[in-house]
Amino acid sequence: MKKIALLPVLLFVPFFVFLGMAGAVKTSQSKAMTEEKHPANPYYSRTDTTKLDLPDSVWKKVLPPDLYEVARHAATERAFTGKYWDYDGIGTYYCAACGNALFSSDAKFASSCGWPSFFETARRNSVIYRKDTSHGMVRTEALCGRCGAHLGHLFDDGPPPIGKRYCMNSIVLDFEPERKVR
Ligand SMILES: [Zn+2]
């Protein structure tokens, strides 16, 4: 008798169907938005602390019109309209005109005034001050310590123990979320 070699018949398990179904699961790696985009502004830097003394015509060229009006002409955004008055992200606020570090979110507090409010600056010289007698008031104007951009005003009605309130325009602030350091 002939010995029949039984060739094992492979079971055609629908492998490929499985492969197709389980295939390439996209891991959408959300890139941390760490790069601020200031393509038109070569003076913007988060690391260079050299003071900037640029003519108005240069700022007009490198800043978006709405930022330019606040930063260089002390315009004020309407209360409750800025992007940061009610924002409580953890990170650092930089000058939107030059990249100078201004405030930590740790120093931000909920104020009912409609503008982002802080009780202290990120660094001692983050902000400089000037007496402002416009609009029939005597106020302390707060300006960027690096580029002189108008930021807002400083008042003495902040929370204890410091008692200060930096009342800022959102548009002159660039917020950078805190990076996770391992
Ligand atoms: Zn600045």
Average of pLDDT values for 152-176? 96
- Rounded to two decimals, the pTM is 0.78
Residue 20 CA to ligand 1 center (angstroms) comes to 54
Which residue segment(s) compose the domain that 158 sits in?
Answer: 42-177
Residues having C-beta closer than 5 Å to ion ligand 1: 95, 97-98, 100, 144, 146-147, 149
Q: Higher-confidence residue: 34 or 84?
A: 84
In a domain, 29, yes or no: no
Alpha carbon distance 115, 101 (integer Å): 18
Determine the Cα–Cα distance for residues 168 and 39; give it in Å rounded to an integer.
24
- Is residue 7 domain-resident? no
The CATH number that applies at residue 112 is 2.170.150.20
Residue 135 Cα to ligand 1 midpoint, Å, equals 24
Residue 43 burial (CB count, 10 A):
18
Q: Does 69 map to a domain?
A: yes
pLDDT of residue 23: 37
Distance 162 CA to ligand 1 centre (A): 24
Q: Would residue 167 show up in a list of annotated catalytic residues for this protein?
A: yes
The tally of domains found in the chain comes to: 1
Given the residues 98, 144, 147, 167, the one annotated as active site:
167
Where is average pLDDT lowest: 2-6, 112-116, 118-122, 149-153?
A: 2-6
- Ligand 1 centroid to residue 153 C-alpha, Å: 15
What is the average pLDDT score of the chain? 84
Structural domain contains residue 126: yes
Tell me how far the alpha carbon of residue 132 lies from the centroid of ligand 1, in angstroms: 19
> Hey, how many other C-beta atoms are within 10 angstroms of the C-beta on 17?
9
Write 13-17 long-range contacts (CB < 8 A, 24+).
none
Give the per-residue pLDDT at 111. Answer: 87
User: Which pLDDT tens digit goes with each residue over 136-155?
Assistant: 999 999 999 999 999 999 99
49 assigned to some structural domain: yes
More confident residue, 130 or 1: 130
Inside any domain, residue 33: no
Gap between the Cα atoms of 126 and 136, Å rounded: 27
Using the mean position of ligand 1's atoms as its centre, give its distance from the Cα of residue 1 in Å: 98
Query: Does residue 160 lie within any of the structural domains?
Result: yes
- Per-residue pLDDT, averaged over 160-182, amounts to 90
pLDDT at position 19, please?
Answer: 38
Residue 118 lies in a domain: yes
Distance 112 CA to ligand 1 centre (A): 26
> Percent of the chain, pLDDT > 70?
78
